[in-house]
C-alpha cells in the first residue's frame, strides 16, 4: 500500500494496521507530510472549529520518589532544586489563572509522598468549591485504584498519565526495575473505568525508539481510546544518563500528531511546551498539524526553572499574564483563537 493510500485510510476509516503505520513513519516524504497535515487540520477544524483550548499548568512539586532515567527531577539527581507548593500557593495560582480566563487547572508534580489522598482531596474539593465552572486535571503519576477513586470523588475531572512507550522492552530501558509497563497500563484502564477523562501519551525520539515501537504506541492509543493524548519530542536533560542523546525530531512529532488526530478525530491533543522548546514556532506548527490544546504555565515564576524535566524549557521566567498574552498573539497569527471554556471531551459532534 502506498503512503497516500494509508493517509486516506486514516482519514476515512480512522484506523491502520501496524505494518502500515511502520511504513508511514519510516518513509513519509515531505509532500506526503503536507497532505497528512492538511487532512489532520481539516479534521480538527471539523470537530472544534478554529478554537484552541487553554489549560493552566500548575507544577506544584519537583520532589519525586521515582528514578525514570530520562527525567530531570528523578530521585537520584542531586543537582535538582526541590520545592513543594502548599495549598495556599496552589489556590493563589488558580485565582490568578481564573482572572486570566483559565477554566481548567492542571495540577502536575512528581510522585511526592507528602501529597496523600487526604491532602490532595482537600485541595481538589476546595478548587471545585471556589471555581465550580472549572475542570481540575491531575498529572501525578501511578497510584492505586482506590486512590484514583477518592480523587475522582473529590471532584477531579481529568487525569494525564503518559504511558511513555507501549513496548515492554523499551519501557524497561527507560525506567528502573521497580516500575513496569503493565502497571502503567493498568492505571490508565483504572482511570477510564472510574470515569476520568483520561490522557495517555509518549515521547517521540526517546533513546532506543524505533518505527516499530512508535507503531505500537499508536495501536495502544487506538485500543485504549483515551480522551486526551500528550506527545512531545524527547529532550535530554544534562543530569541524566541520556544527556548526550539527541532530541527527538519535530518533523516526526508533527507527523504523529496528525496521525493521532485522524485515528481519534475527537481527541483533545496538546501542542506541548516541548514542541515550543525545540522549535521557536513549534506550538503553532502543532496546531496546524491537528492539535487543539495549549497549556500555559500558572506556576509561580520563581519555581518554573526548578521544574526541570528537560533542558532549555521555554517560558520559565514569564508571569502567567505575559505568557497567555504572547501565546494568544501567536495562535491568532495562524488563524486560530484561544477560548476560555472548559473544553471537555465530546464523544460526537461537529462544529456547524
The number of residues making up the chain comes to: 352
Confidence category of residue 180, pLDDT binned at 50, 70, 90: very high
| DSSP line for 10-62 | HHHHS---HHHHHHHHHH--HHHHHHHHHHHHHHHHHHHTTEEEE-EEEEEE-
- Lowest average pLDDT, out of 50-64, 109-123, 196-210, 309-323, goes to 309-323
5-56 pLDDT tens trace = 999 999 999 999 999 999 999 999 999 999 999 999 999 999 999 999 999 9
- Lowest average pLDDT, out of 71-80, 180-189, 202-211, 303-312, goes to 303-312
88-112 pLDDT tens trace = 999 999 999 999 999 999 999 999 9
Reference 230, options 57, 85, 101; nearest CA is 57
Distance of CA 128 to the CA centre of its chain: 22
CA distances from 267 to 232, 235, 262, 296, 312 (A): 16, 25, 9, 19, 29
What percent of the chain is predicted at pLDDT more than 70?
A: 93
Amino acid at each position: 500500500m502506498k503512503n497516500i493510500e494509508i493517509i486516506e485510510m486514516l482519514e476515512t476509516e480512522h484506523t491502520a494496521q501496524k505494518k502500515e503505520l511502520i511504513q508511514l513513519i519510516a518513509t513519509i516524504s515531505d509532500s506526503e507530510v503536507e497532505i497528512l497535515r492538511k487532512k489532520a487540520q481539516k479534521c480538527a477544524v471539523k470537530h472544534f472549529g478554529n478554537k484552541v483550548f487553554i489549560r493552566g499548568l500548575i507544577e506544584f512539586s519537583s520532589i519525586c520518589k521515582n528514578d525514570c532515567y530520562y527525567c530531570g527531577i528523578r530521585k537520584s539527581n542531586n543537582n535538582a532544586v526541590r520545592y513543594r507548593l502548599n495549598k495556599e500557593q496552589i489556590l493563589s495560582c488558580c485565582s490568578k489563572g481564573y482572572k486570566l480566563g483559565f477554566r481548567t487547572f492542571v495540577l502536575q508534580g512528581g510522585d511526592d509522598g507528602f501529597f496523600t489522598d487526604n491532602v490532595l482531596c482537600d485541595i481538589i474539593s476546595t478548587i471545585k468549591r471556589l471555581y465550580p465552572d472549572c475542570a481540575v486535571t491531575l498529572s501525578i503519576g501511578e497510584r492505586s485504584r482506590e486512590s484514583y477513586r477518592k480523587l475522582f470523588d473529590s471532584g477531579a475531572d481529568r487525569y494525564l498519565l503518559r504511558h511513555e512507550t507501549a513496548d515492554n522492552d523499551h519501557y524497561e530501558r527507560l525506567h528502573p526495575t521497580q516500575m513496569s509497563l503493565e502497571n502503567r497500563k493498568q492505571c490508565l484502564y483504572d482511570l477510564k473505568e472510574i470515569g476520568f477523562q483520561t490522557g495517555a501519551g509518549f515521547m517521540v525520539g526517546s533513546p532506543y525508539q524505533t518505527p516499530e515501537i512508535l507503531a505500537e504506541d499508536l495501536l495502544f492509543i487506538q485500543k485504549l481510546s483515551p480522551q486526551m493524548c500528550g506527545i512531545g519530542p524527547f529532550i535530554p536533560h544534562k543530569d541524566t544518563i541520556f544527556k548526550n542523546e539527541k532530541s527527538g525530531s519535530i518533523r516526526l512529532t508533527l507527523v504523529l500528531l496528525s496521525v493521532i488526530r485522524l485515528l481519534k478525530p475527537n481527541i483533545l491533543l496538546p501542542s506541548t511546551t516541548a514542541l515550543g522548546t525545540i522549535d521557536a514556532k513549534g506550538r503553532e506548527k502543532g496546531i496546524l498539524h491537528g492539535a487543539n490544546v495549549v497549556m500555559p504555565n500558572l506556576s509561580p515564576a520563581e519555581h518554573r526553572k526548578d521544574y526541570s524535566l528537560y533542558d532549555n524549557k521555554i517560558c520559565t521566567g514569564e508571569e502567567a499574564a505575559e505568557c497567555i498574552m504572547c501565546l494568544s498573539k501567536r495562535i491568532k497569527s495562524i488563524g486560530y483563537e484561544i477560548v476560555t471554556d472548559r473544553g471537555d471531551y465530546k464523544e460526537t459532534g461537529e462544529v456547524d
